Amino acid sequence: MAIGGVLRPGHAQIRVMNLEEGIHFYGNVLGLQETGRDAQGRVYFKAWDERDHSSVVIREADRAGIDHFAFKVQSKSVLSKLDSDLRAYGVNTEWVPAGEMLETGERVRFQVASGHMIELYADKGVVGNGLGMLNPEAWQPMAEKGIAPTRMDHCLLYGPDIEKVEALFRDVLGFYKVEHIVLEDDKTDLAIWLSCSIKAHDIAFVRHAVPGMLHHVSFLLDSWEKVLRAADLMSMNRVSIDIGPTRHGVTRGTTIYAFDPSGNRFETFAGGYQTYPDIPPIKWTMDEVGAAVFYHDRKLTPSFLEVVS
């Protein structure tokens, strides 16, 4: 059984300002596998070790950012129950019909207090990872294309009222807080990391005046060496790097942050720890916020705090 019925992050729909640039970047530089294009002009991708049809969807728009972040839930009955629970909690929901996205079943869409659209779904077509489910090989040769993450892992979103967001994710969706950074009053959270699994986080939020902003979508690599390889490939392809390679204090992951051609920040990371919902959340204070975010330098960079899409 999944914790709370929400299995894991499912997909992110990202706005890009030039579709062909976006297709080249996500397909060749990041190294995701294209799995389809629809009549709305959206292009679908998956990481090589993901089984489901897609985890990243891009569409052309006049500004960058994120349309929605979706989670896969355990079953259709869980999806219906979560919809009822959300409405009982006072959240307006909308059912998006099956097939509106390629290979994706019906979705429940709702907006959280930070201004972000969140979606839940139970069904998505399975395309596999090329290895099969019987006596598979250890990895897929196609995984060497570009940076080649193993999965889309999580996202970090910027917006107001993150305490209300945390309450909804906790009380309705079954998430729990793994780490947080508190402001000088020692009570108000600046940032929260939430999990529906045993990962250090499946989604995170930072308090920000402007609602609905994207800080980054994150992709998992196997090792610190793969993070360093990603940095080399970013340099070879003239990708704009924001920070790294370095390590976080929060989650203890090794990381590098950079931007796609439209200015959407993405992360390639490895490591971090596993956790469980009975473990109390780790707390960071503002006098150590530099080490919390960038453990090696122990200081923040203005671009990391201020640049969002």
Q: Which of 53, 201, 208, 215 is catalytic?
A: 201
3-state helix, strand, coil in the chain (%, to 5): 20, 35, 40
Check if 11 is active-site: no
Q: Which of 154, 180, 208, 215 is catalytic?
A: 154
Radius of gyration, CA atoms only, the chain: 18
Question: DSSP readout, 192-242?
Answer: EEEESSSBS-SEEEEE-SSTTEEEEEEEE-SSHHHHHHHHHHHHHTT-EEE
Check if 306 is active-site: no
Neighbours of 223 (CB within 10 A): 11
Alpha-carbon distances of 244 from 14, 147, 155, 228, rounded to whole Å: 23, 15, 18, 9
Check if 163 is active-site: no
The DSSP bridge partners found for residue 129 are none
The C-alpha atoms of residue 60 and residue 106 are separated, in whole angstroms, by 23
The DSSP bridge partners found for residue 12 are 56, 69
Which residue is it, tokens 């090792």?
Answer: 223
* CB of 256 closer than 8 Å to CB of 230: yes
Check if 208 is active-site: no
Secondary structure element (H or E) that encloses residue 167, with its range: helix 162-171
Q: Which of 267, 295, 296, 306 is catalytic?
A: 267
Check if 154 is active-site: yes
For 184, which DSSP code? Answer: T
Q: Which of 68, 208, 215, 248 is catalytic?
A: 248
Which residue is it, tokens 């920070």?
Answer: 243
The C-alpha atoms of residue 115 and residue 118 are separated, in whole angstroms, by 10
Check if 273 is active-site: no
- Written as one letter, the residue type at 272 is G
Sign of CA dihedral 76, 80, 85, 91: positive
Enzyme catalytic residues: 154, 201, 216, 248, 257, 267
